[in-house]
Homo-oligomer: A and B are copies of this chain.
Amino acid sequence: MNILIITAHPDPTSLTHSLSSVATDQLKRDGHKVRVSDLYAINWKSAVDHDDFPALPASERLKVGPASKQAYSTGSLTEDVVQEQEKLLWADAVIIAFPLWWFSMPAILKGWVERTLSYGFGYGRGEHTDTHWGDRYGEGLMAGKRAMLCVMIGGWEPHYGPRGVNGPVDDILFPMNHGVLYYPGFTVLPSFLVYRSDRLDEAGYNIAAERIRDRMKNLFTAEPIPYRMQNGGDYLIPSMQLRPELNPGITGFAAHLKPTDEETS
């Protein structure tokens, strides 16, 4: 299979890069093809701006959505973005490795998301009807591909627990797992997490390396996060509310997980 690994850390000797190398080695050993987008190494342009749309006259107002739609549909996106889109189309699975900075991904990686997942590619796809609200949340161009975050977390695990002061890690990652990956159609795997990532000793590193090797071995067999397909019948359209009989009384991110005992709708 084909695997794209995206890394976002400025230090090539960082844990992010080191564990990505371990993952790459394991994947190759198992016969997969691996490509890497090392965002710092390729000096990825982070900020969406007018330069991203060379066909848009300099005098014209930049409306990001329409400009992105126009550029994608006419093949006039910039070459760096086209290359990333081609890698995504090539890939059967995507691994995204980064340090958690201020409870989200590094700016350079956010810029990769904003620029690569253009209108027509990552969002703005499909019809809007009474039974179908665009191809998103489980449908889209990335459908059939797997994705997984590998997150280096400086803090302590209990601080990210259900009642920890930082908030639960699953909720902190939900805007990325559900909002960035599931939205364009990826099947999302539980994230690979390393806590106290700045303080790993050799034994801790070896454990983390072994864990990521295992995750790579199971990349195509592991159970994904059981998000609900938007157009699968679980949501009212167009209000996109979860039907009241599903996860009754539950609000928040967790409502969008299908319990294991819930019947398929």
The chain A residues found within 8 Å of chain B, CB to CB, are 10-11, 13, 40, 44, 46-50, 61-65, 99, 101-108, 110-111, 113-114, 117, 137, 154, 156, 158-159, 161-168, 171-172, 174-176, 178-180, 183, 198, 230, 235, 238-242, 250-256
A selection of 16 A-B contacts at a CB cut-off of 8 Å is: A11-B63, A46-B111, A47-B111, A48-B101, A48-B106, A102-B110, A102-B175, A102-B180, A103-B179, A104-B110, A104-B179, A110-B110, A163-B242, A163-B250, A165-B240, A166-B240
In whole Å, how far is A6's beta carbon from the nearest beta carbon of chain B? Answer: 14
If A47-B111, A102-B175, A252-B254 are given as contacts, then 14 extra A-B residue pairs at C-beta distance below 8 Å, sorted by A number, are A10-B48, A10-B62, A47-B106, A65-B198, A102-B113, A102-B114, A104-B110, A107-B107, A158-B241, A159-B239, A163-B242, A164-B241, A167-B179, A167-B252
Distance, CA A256 to CA B160, complexed state (A): 12
Which residues of B are found within 8 Å of A159, using beta-carbon distances? 239-240
Whether the pair B50, A47 counts as a contact (CB closer than 8 A) is: no
Distance, CA A109 to CA B53, complexed state (A): 21
Say yes or no: A13-B158 contact (C-beta < 8 A), given A114-B106, A230-B165, A252-B167. Answer: no
Distance, CA A104 to CA B100, complexed state (A): 14
Task: Report, nearest first, the 8 A-B pairs whose CB atoms are least far apart.
Answer: A107-B111, A46-B46, A103-B179, A162-B251, A103-B175, A107-B110, A165-B240, A47-B108
Which residues of B are found within 8 Å of A137, using beta-carbon distances? 165
